[in-house]
Amino acid sequence: MKIPIPHPALETGSHALSMTACLLTPGGRGAVATIGIRGEIHRLDPYFQAANGRAIAQQELDRICFGHWGAPLFEEIVLVRTAECEAELHCHGGQAAVDRIFADLTASGAQIHSQSDWLLHDKLPDADRLAEECLLALTRTTTQKTAHHLLRQCRLFPEAVAGLANLNPDEKARRIHEMLAWSRFGVHLTCPWKVVLCGRPNVGKSSLINALVGYPRSVVFDQPGTTRDVVAAETAFDGWPVEISDTAGFRQAAGQLETAGMALAQSRMREADLVIIVLDATEESETADQELLNAVADPLVIRNKIDLVTHLSGSEEVSHSLSVSARTGTGIPELMAAIVERVVPAEPNGHTPFPVTRRQQTWLQNLRLG
């Protein structure tokens, strides 16, 4: 579906001599790459030779035009003139082909924009621009479930924003509030929920992250201080993308390098959507355990190494913890379910509009205040 994007600068003539370009297709390998062009598209004539012999400005709108790019070694491409001052180039999806065309565009005076800069301008977004932004976000989803939610917003959110103009101030404020209530959920459709494992050394954090993601991501070694940096891995639980971080163990008798690792771990914990405190089921709780329990607001507490004990030790404060074994897999499915329940306690129905980017969220917030 082609959604036209008006370009204010071109309409007003304030940048009459400008030309901008952007790679519109997602990064990585692909059969075809699409490059968008705006501005004085006739500057492409020295590089593009149409099979029909016409100049770019003479090509019919929204008609496919086959041709060659460059000489003497040329690239076969397809050009589509989508508006008076806009065109799309469809070339081979390899990076070499894209880089070559970008080099020629830069030589002709074009500015290469990121996808965000290409779509977003200082003016308030209209429905078409919001739909384009949602489609761009759709390319960054990593699971079928998040893609389904975002695909619905390509229609629902722009329609809801357009409908705000017909509401009285009170109803408008109520609708904006309802949309913003799901903004955190919307942003996480393309940005995984951040889950951080923390605890004393050798409680099994590294083994646990390996069990959760299903492959060896962290080094496992029976020596305090093995993990001195933050090791992260992305996975999905029940279709929800999650980034799990394995942090340095917290202990008092730590060296300088371990102390730096602990500081980095604390930084990750502050940014996390969920902190999991890992305890050792084979040992009594220590001061470091209690300090963590007191320092973290609403953590998910688990006791690892349950396969090595016949009864649980520890204080009553953590009696509601989950019991797992990273080695045998006992309790791992229950832990995954608990993580999902904490990071996604609810999901919107298929008719609820909400913002899916931080920019959309900020724009709605400003609209409510204004």
Assign residue 327 the CATH number of its domain: 3.40.50.300
Mean pLDDT over 74-97 rounds to 89
- pLDDT top residue among 135 and 175: 175
Q: Which of 119, 139, 174 is the last residue of a domain?
A: 119
* Most confident listed range (110-124, 215-229, 336-350): 336-350
Distance CA 251, CA 201 (A): 7
- Asked if residue 37 is part of any domain, the answer here is yes
Question: What are the angstrom distances between the C-alpha of 88 and each of 13, 98, 140?
Answer: 21, 13, 21
Please state, for a pLDDT cut of 70, what percent of the chain lies above it. 80
- Asked if residue 1 is part of any domain, the answer here is no
Question: Residue 53 is part of a domain; what is its CATH number?
Answer: 3.30.1360.120
Cβ atoms of 95 and 103 closer than 8 Å: no
Q: Helix, strand, or coil here: 11?
A: helix
Q: Which of 74, 103, 119 is the last residue of a domain?
A: 119
Phi–psi pair at 164, nearest 5 degrees:
-60, -30
- Asked if residue 364 is part of any domain, the answer here is yes
Closest CA to 352 of 142, 126, 149: 149
Other C-beta atoms lying within 10 Å of the C-beta of residue 72: 4
Distance CA 43, CA 12 (A): 20
Q: Where does the pLDDT of residue 5 fall: very low under 50, low under 70, confident under 90, or very high at 90 and above?
A: very low
Strand partners, 145: none
Residue 216 confidence (pLDDT): 62
Shared domain check, 110 and 203: no
- Asked if residue 105 is part of any domain, the answer here is yes
**pLDDT greater than 90 at residue 252:** no
Distance CA 198, CA 272 (A): 11
Q: Where does the pLDDT of residue 230 fall: very low under 50, low under 70, confident under 90, or very high at 90 and above?
A: low
Q: DSSP strand E in 86-138: where?
A: 86-92, 111-113
Distance CA 244, CA 328 (A): 20
Q: What letter does residue 47 receive in the DSSP assignment? A: T
Average pLDDT, the chain: 82
Shared domain check, 68 and 209: no
Shared domain check, 148 and 112: no
Shared domain check, 238 and 279: yes
Structural domain boundaries enclosing 287 = 193-343
Element (H, E) at 274: strand 274-280
* Lowest-pLDDT range of 71-80, 225-234, 286-295, 361-370: 225-234
* The residue type at 213: V
Shared domain check, 206 and 257: yes
- pLDDT top residue among 12 and 189: 189
**pLDDT greater than 50 at residue 123:** no
Residues 6+ apart with CB under 8 A from 110: 19, 20, 21, 37, 39, 43
Element (H, E) at 34: strand 32-39
- Asked if residue 188 is part of any domain, the answer here is no
Distance CA 212, CA 214 (A): 6
Shared domain check, 160 and 21: no
Distance CA 77, CA 3 (A): 22
Shared domain check, 329 and 250: yes
Shared domain check, 328 and 285: yes
- pLDDT top residue among 133 and 77: 77
Shared domain check, 178 and 198: no
Strand partners, 83: 86
Residue appearing with tokens 């320092």: 295
Residue 323 confidence (pLDDT): 92
How many angstroms from the chain centroid is the CA of residue 7? 26
Total domains in the fold of the chain: 3
pTM over 0.85: no
* Lowest-pLDDT range of 208-217, 287-296, 339-348: 208-217
- Asked if residue 325 is part of any domain, the answer here is yes
- Asked if residue 271 is part of any domain, the answer here is yes
User: What is the phi-psi region of residue 298: left when phi exceeds 0, alpha when psi lies from -120 to 50, beta otherwise?
Assistant: left
Distance CA 51, CA 47 (A): 13
Q: Which of 119, 147, 173 is the last residue of a domain?
A: 119
Distance CA 162, CA 176 (A): 12
* Lowest-pLDDT range of 105-109, 115-119, 211-215: 115-119
Residue appearing with tokens 């204004």: 370
Mean pLDDT over 56-61 rounds to 91
Shared domain check, 338 and 257: yes
* Lowest-pLDDT range of 166-180, 215-229, 282-296: 215-229
Output the six-digit token pair for 114.
């990121």
Shared domain check, 325 and 273: yes
Output the six-digit token pair for 189.
């459709």
**pLDDT greater than 90 at residue 183:** yes
What is the CA angle 64-68-74, rounded to 5?
155
Please state, for a pLDDT cut of 90, what percent of the chain lies above it. 46
**pLDDT greater than 70 at residue 313:** no
- Asked if residue 138 is part of any domain, the answer here is yes
Shared domain check, 199 and 336: yes
Is 261 buried (19+), middle (13-18) or exposed (0-12) by CB count in 10 A?
buried
Other C-beta atoms lying within 10 Å of the C-beta of residue 92: 17
